[in-house]
Structure 1
């Protein structure tokens, strides 16, 4: 875990990512993107399919490298931050190991990094309580609902006390009621851990409810169209009633207006040469 608060959690400067194509000049997924995320800040990335949201998250996570530009996480190159375990990652699918219990899945990253059994068990117990699954520590993934599995995935991502969470549509496969409950849970968890979050979503209400700022991206090539500051107070104090707040609806409208027409524009793009390239 990185405790430094004097440097940004994430500092993206002039990043572009071009994927080579079988024929032609290649596919520009991201073009000259710059963004700074402060320690403890919750920032959502939203935009039409193919705008490069997930590509940008993968670059921050050092699962891919930019064609140009630079990325630092707590003042370190993205690769060093990955090595130092400065962030946790949660994807749309929980990705739990079916032969491990809830506790066993949460302990996995600690086990891989040589943490002793007693310390692993203590940490897993803390996190199981944090995500509200104290009665399910010995259950297996196929005994859990989709929302519960995602809670386990979030707990696993927090196992090594990261100062940053990278989340790629973690609630996208859930029904609406479960999704809203998970959003409430995530607000609570972030308040307790004080981790910064970069969160990819297609849902405008989700982005507004969770975020300090919403980054609205343009259709490919992905650029930052605008950044909306959500003036709804500290994220840690947000609850169910916020969804009826006038300011909530104002921010919804602002983000929606910025996105208006993007889906149609993105769908009409020429996809030739883009086969097999993931540019979400």
Structure 2
């Protein structure tokens, strides 16, 4: 007797989603048009495309910060709204958004405090996350005593406070200088390897998307559609280090994404999935 295989539960499932915004004098703007995408548990997927292509709009829809005009979104088999209520995901934006009157520990504890976690449990979880992001010596510091990179580490730690299975990240390193940005990319790779969280990551940087991702989703100019999906075969997250940026396969993948962004068929286009 054979047992039927259970259906795979995606971390994120976007089904034919469109988002139309009302404009002036009855006009409308289509930000997203019939977008479909799945993200597997533990997978890192980057969204890249020209400004105004709907990357951030799609992220906001997954996060239940906005509602699709058409189509549906599920997060771990639940509606996006229910996933938000159940704290199944954490969010990090380009600006760290830390409360200036709270210390590093206090900022990380905030989501736990809002959801009624006891004081001792909050302190233990904050200490664990502070160590994870390498800020153990700064637990009592305030945001204005931290560098931009440190503030972003606190924001990432805060997004992990409730042990989410999914991280939604909207250009979290976009305001950082290049050297700090690369260090933060290294940190994020390490954190993802340790937590096994799935990630949907919005970026304008092609090298960043390639370095971080299992797949890169290339979006077209507005109305936003998925132009292509590139599988990035650069090994496991735990194996990705500083030297990867000098690897021939890394440069090859960067070139492929660049060509896809310009609407060309990439040379040697192995690993490209058309959706």
TM class by smaller structure:
over 0.9
Task: Tell me the residue number matched to 2:86.
Answer: 84
Q: Runs ≥4 in structure 1, deviation > 6 angstroms?
A: none
Give the aligned partner of residue 69 of structure 1: 71
Gaps of 5+ in 1: 263-280
Normalised to the residue count of structure 1, the TM-score between the two structures is: 0.91
**1:1-280 alignment, distance < 5 Å:** 6-260=8-262
Q: Secondary structure at the match of 1:154?
A: helix
Matches of 2:186 and 2:235 in 1, distance apart? 15
1:266 matched to which residue of 2?
Answer: none
Matched residues, number: 258
Using the TM superposition, give the Cα deviation of residue 236 of structure 1 relative to its aligned residue in structure 2, in angstroms. Answer: 2.2
- What's the RMSD between the two structures over aligned residues? 1.2
**How far does the alpha carbon of each residue in 1:112-165 deviate from its partner, in whole angstroms, 9 at most, with x for none?**
000000000000000000000000000000000000000000000000000000
Give the secondary structure class of the aligned counterpart of 1:81: helix
Q: CA deviation at 1:216?
A: 0.1
Question: Whole-Å Cα distance in 2 between the matches of residues 235 and 53 of structure 1?
Answer: 23
Alpha-carbon distance between aligned partners in 1 of 2:97 and 2:14, rounded to the nearest angstrom: 28
In structure 2, C-alpha distance between the alignment counterparts of 1:205 and 1:125, rounded to whole Å: 32
